[in-house]
Amino acid sequence: AQSVSQHNHHVILSEAASLELGCNYSYGGTVNLFWYVQYPGQHLQLLLKYFSGDPLVKGIKGFEAEFIKSKFSFNLRKPSVQWSDTAEYFCAVTPYTGGFKTIFGAGTRLFVKA
Amino acid sequence: NAGVTQTPKFQVLKTGQSMTLQCAQDMNHNSMYWYRQDPGMGLRLIYYSASEGTTDKGEVPNGYNVSRLNKREFSLRLESAAPSQTSVYFCASRPGTSSYEQYFGPGTRLTVT
């Protein structure tokens, strides 16, 4: 069965620290990849997406992610986190064929200390 | 342009009661989804509607039914609520087959006692 694994369930960082959240998926075909963010008390919103082309994609608020096809990975990065980045982050995968279903990872809760 | 709206925001039910969660989108999207979010489990797909007039089961459909009333509205019904259905429910929509990004509603927090 297709699945998405996020390596860290909880991450605590100090402001200005660098962030990398891991995401691996199990699907052999072409995929569309996403990172969504859920700020406290809010609904999910798109952080960034990859469909094709340059495997390094940039999103909102200084976030970026790199697609490494050989590793089935789509890790999220930010060079310097802020207190306002405290949120839950979800990696998601939509298979390109029959792509009505999106599979979400379990999420990573990030807490940034001021 | 309100995006995706959900009602109610909060609900408490007793075991065995029924209720319908409402979802509407004003973005003229073709596809709509219902997810449940539980701690440590991410979002799990309950049902989806690829286009008006069609519905399909997702990962965890048992105990739920859906209706795609028209292009705008997609409701989720719990016929006989159980404590295991205590969760946060999110509705989402997507433009169509050419765009895979989903837009989420604010969620409904449901507690079944």
Tens digits of per-residue pLDDT, A79-92?
A: 999 999 999 999 99
Q: What is the pLDDT of residue A56?
A: 96
Q: Is the pLDDT confidence value at A43 over 70?
A: yes
- Per-residue confidence band for A99, with pLDDT thresholds at 50, 70 and 90: low
Beta strands per DSSP E along B29-104: 31-38, 42-49, 56-57, 64-68, 74-78, 87-94, 103-104
Question: Span A68-83, mean pLDDT?
Answer: 96
Share above pLDDT 70 across residues of chain B, in percent, rounded to a whole number: 98
Q: Find the CB nearest A90 among B43, B58, B106.
A: B43
Interface test with B, best of A52, A100, A109 (most B CBs within 10 A): A100
Helices (H) and strands (E) in chain B, counts: 0, 11
Q: Which of A27, A102, A108 to mutate to test the interface with B (most CBs of B within 10 A)?
A: A102
Averaged pLDDT for residues A20-48: 92
Q: What does the pLDDT read at residue A68? A: 95
pLDDT tens, position by position, B79-96: 999 999 999 999 999 987
For residue B60, the Cα-to-chain-centroid distance in whole angstroms is: 12
In Å, how far is B103's CA from the nearest CA of chain A? 7
Chain A residues within an 8 Å CB radius of B9: none
Instruction: Tell me if A43 and B42 make a contact (CB, 8 A cut-off).
Output: no
Where residue A95 falls among pLDDT bands split at 50, 70, 90? Answer: confident
Which token pair is A57? 């994609």
Looking up tokens 């990065």 gives: A77
Question: A94 versus A86: which is more confidently predicted?
Answer: A86
Asked if B58 and A114 touch (Cβ cutoff 8 Å), the reply is: no
Confidence class for position B2, pLDDT limits 50, 70, 90: confident
* pLDDT score of B66: 97
pLDDT (0 to 100) of residue A98: 60
Q: What is the pLDDT of residue B42?
A: 87
Structure tokens at B30: 């073709």
Report the relative pairing of strands B42-49 and B31-38 from DSSP bridges. antiparallel
Q: Do A102 and B102 touch (CB under 8 A)?
A: yes
- Tell me if A34 and B104 make a contact (CB, 8 A cut-off): no
Residue in B with minimal Cα distance to A108: B40
Q: List the single residue in B with minimal CA-CA distance to A6.
A: B42
Average pLDDT over residues B41-47: 92
- A100:B42 CB<8 A: no
Q: Find which of B5, B100, B103 to mutate to test the A interface (most A CBs within 10 Å of its CB).
A: B100
- What is the interface size between A and B, counted as CB pairs within 8 Å? 49
